[in-house]
Structure 1
Amino acid sequence: MTPLETAKYIFSQDAFSQWLGIEILEIKEKYCHIKMPIKAEMINGLKTVHGGITFAFADSALAFSSNNMGEAAVALNCVINFTTAVRLGDTLFAESKLLTETRKTGIYDILIKNQQEDLVASFRGTVYKINKKVVDL
């Protein structure tokens, strides 16, 4: 399978990313670019997007980039920094790039921007390669 076919397969199995409204824009080897519209049910009591939604969006980008070569990887450690509030009506874009990898781990940087290309969060995720194929799970 190509990286795009693998990412589409992962997405087809991922009901949560589908519920978020994620759309895959571009997939390359160990890279992805995705987008997500902000919906009313994502808004918290301060009328901004719940941080968990932004984290989950970045986590989905991590999954699509770190698994798209067919080797299954799971998040081992993730850190997010929120830089700008996200509001109802915004559209978020996440770009995930591999920084470095070993035989068993990989580190990815994910930048999350809004429709004006303002940085709203930065996320670094470390994945652990579980020695299984994505399609065998």
Structure 2
Amino acid sequence: MGMIDPFVLSLISDEPAMDWFGLNVEQAHEGSAVVTVRVSADQVNASRATHGGVVFAVADQAFAMAANTVVHYAVTADAAIQYLSPTNAGDVLTATARTSFRDERRVVIDVDVTSRDRTIALFRGTARAGRRQ
């Protein structure tokens, strides 16, 4: 595990969806993050390919972790994904997020999702500073 921003650590400890999806934050600091998931047999669709929601979830988590190193309590303003290649149960998905724009209240994060040395999805999200609910 790499470096994880202290604020992000506090968020991880209070995020049950991460456990539900089986997501692991490998690192999150200075506008970047890496999140992984091993696709389980119950995370595939009828075609036995990884469900798109799982791919989106790992990308979205990396986006959120990177955004929260820039603006605290980041709230998603928009997010989009392009699915490029399928994966299957047992594959490890790695979402690598990096900041491409930031100002005092907003951040744009690009995320590459890879598995077995190939890009399987591209994600871009915009977040703004929020406040704890």
Mapped partners of 1:68, 1:102: distance in 2: 13
Is structure 2 residue 102 aligned with structure 1 residue 127? no
Q: Which runs of 5+ in 1 are unaligned?
A: none
Deviation >6 Å, runs of 4+: none
Is structure 2 residue 15 aligned with structure 1 residue 14? yes
Mapped partners of 1:84, 1:31: distance in 2: 24
Q: Which runs of 5+ in 2 are unaligned?
A: none
Question: TM-score, normalized by length of structure 2?
Answer: 0.90
Residue 35 of structure 2 aligns to a residue whose secondary structure is strand
Q: Which residue of 1 aligns with 2:56?
A: 55
Give runs of aligned pairs for residues 35-74 of structure 1, distance below 5 A: 35-69=36-70, 71-74=72-75
Contact 2:35 2:62 survives alignment (8 Å): yes
Question: TM-score, normalized by length of structure 1?
Answer: 0.88
Contact 1:66 1:127 survives alignment (8 Å): yes
Deviations along 1:10-69, whole A, 9 cap, x unmatched?
Answer: 111111112211122222211111211101111111111111111111111111111135
Structure 2 counterpart of 1:62, one-letter code: F
C-alpha spacing 1:63/1:29, structure 2 compared with 1 (3 Å): same
Mapped partners of 1:79, 1:70: distance in 2: 20
Mapped partners of 1:70, 1:106: distance in 2: 7
Is structure 2 residue 117 aligned with structure 1 residue 117? yes
What is the number of equivalent residue pairs in this alignment?
Answer: 131
Sequence identity of aligned pairs in percent? 22
C-alpha spacing 1:124/1:70, structure 2 compared with 1 (3 Å): closer
Structure 1 residues 2-11 or 57-66, which shifts more? 2-11
Give runs of aligned pairs for residues 18-37 of structure 1, distance below 5 A: 18-37=19-38
Report the aligned-residue RMSD: 1.7
